């Protein structure tokens, strides 16, 4: 099978490189706007070349040479990418949508792909990709989910079909995101505030006592680093989560607030607040950068 990755970011690289060489995979190609941008073109094309991934320079070129297309972009681009791919999709090819979008968005994407003769499968990626690689747990949904799951499982992937009804896998993912991304936002707000008052050495032990199964210092460092690195993507995901809550008939106060906090962190990162800070820095270093930026009025 010939693979085509739309999006060559952290997730796209993981799948494009990890699946290349698996039995039954003859080629791995990728398309990303970064391949065309002067600031990123050389670096991204070099990475693809070194990994053995064929970097193509248009959506059309990708779709015309792929049996399985995997979309791994930001949530706000999920429908646009599906529409662009549908214009060039080969009839009968699979379109696996990894994007963190609401059930309604996934259903709109599916309609576009099916109209073009493709086989749309939604995926809910249930945890961070880097620790697991291609073995990251995924829930698949849609009428073609069971068939594709067998193929992915043969490549060593943890892909489980949960429903032939579109939206179920995404509903599971979005409901989980309200909790997980909300925890990230709460932790950042709590830790930075404790640091500002100089009471972190009193606050963290109480968390440890209440939830002894979590190393709250290590978890703080990890969550700060992930939000700094992927805050924009998380903010977009949480706006989709808010839509999911709203479609269920509830007001998404928590999901919306989480989206705002994630966006604020993304904006801080874009402004250079965390520049040159190692990803494995302790959480205190991240909090100190926020406090310094506050003092400067950033």
Q: How far is CA 27 from CA 22, 54, 204, 217, in A?
A: 10, 8, 49, 43
Query: Model confidence over 134-184: pLDDT tens digits?
Result: 999 999 999 999 999 999 999 999 999 999 999 999 999 999 999 999 999
d(CA 230, CA 232): 6
Rounded distance between C-alpha atoms, residue 150 and residue 154, angstroms = 6
In this predicted model, what pLDDT tens digit does every residue of 90-131 receive, in sequence order?
999 999 999 999 999 999 999 999 999 999 999 999 998 988
Helix axes 200-210, 216-247, angle to 10 degrees: 70
Question: What is the reported pTM?
Answer: 0.91
Residue of 68, 75, 29, 67 whose CA lies nearest to 51 = 29
Stretch 232-260: mean pLDDT: 97
Mean pLDDT of all residues belonging to the chain: 95
Distance CA 235, CA 136 (A): 21
The crossing angle, in degrees rounded to 10, of helices 41-51 and 10-19 is 20
Q: Determine what percent of the chain falls in helix, strand and coil, rounding each to the nearest 5.
A: 60, 10, 30
CA distance 95 to 80: 14
Token pair for residue 65? 């040479």
Domain annotation for the chain: domains and CATH numbers:
2-164 (3.40.50.720), 170-296 (1.10.1040.10)
Q: What is the pLDDT of residue 298?
A: 65
Position 130 scores a pLDDT of 86
Q: Quick one: pLDDT at residue 22?
A: 83
Assign 211 a pLDDT band (cuts: 50, 70, 90): very high
Query: How many CA atoms within 13 Å lie on the side-chain side of 217?
Result: 9
d(CA 77, CA 236): 9
DSSP H or E run through 282: none
- Asked if pLDDT for residue 10 goes beyond 70, the answer is yes
Question: Has residue 78 got a pLDDT over 90?
Answer: yes
């Amino acid at each position: 099978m010939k693979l085509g990755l739309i999006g060559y970011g952290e997730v796209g690289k993981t799948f494009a490189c990890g699946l290349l060489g698996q039995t039954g995979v003859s080629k791995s190609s990728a398309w990303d706007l970064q391949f065309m941008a002067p600031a990123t073109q050389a670096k991204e094309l070099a990475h693809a070349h070194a990994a053995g991934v064929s970097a193509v320079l248009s959506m059309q070129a990708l779709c015309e040479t792929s049996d399985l297309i995997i979309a791994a972009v930001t949530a706000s681009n999920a429908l646009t990418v599906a529409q662009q791919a549908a214009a060039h999709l080969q009839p009968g090819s699979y379109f696996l949508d990894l994007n963190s979008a609401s059930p309604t968005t996934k259903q709109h994407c599916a309609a576009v792909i099916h109209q073009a003769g493709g086989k749309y499968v939604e995926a809910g990626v249930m945890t961070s990709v880097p620790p697991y690689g291609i073995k990251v747990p995924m829930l698949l949904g849609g009428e073609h989910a069971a068939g594709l799951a067998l193929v992915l499982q043969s490549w060593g992937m943890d892909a489980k079909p949960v429903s032939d009804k579109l939206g179920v896998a995404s509903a599971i993912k979005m409901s989980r995101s309200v909790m997980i991304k909300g925890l990230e936002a709460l932790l950042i707000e709590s830790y930075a505030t404790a640091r500002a008052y100089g009471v972190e050495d009193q606050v963290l032990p109480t968390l440890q006592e209440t939830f002894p199964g979590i190393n709250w210092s290590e978890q703080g460092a990890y969550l700060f680093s992930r939000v700094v690195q992927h805050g924009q993507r998380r903010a977009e995901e949480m706006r989709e989560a808010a839509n999911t809550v709203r479609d269920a008939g509830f007001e998404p106060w928590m999901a919306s607030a989480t989206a705002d906090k994630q966006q604020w962190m993304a904006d801080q990162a874009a402004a250079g607040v965390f520049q040159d800070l190692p990803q494995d820095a302790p959480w205190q270093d991240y909090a100190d950068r926020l406090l310094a930026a506050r003092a400067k009025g950033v």
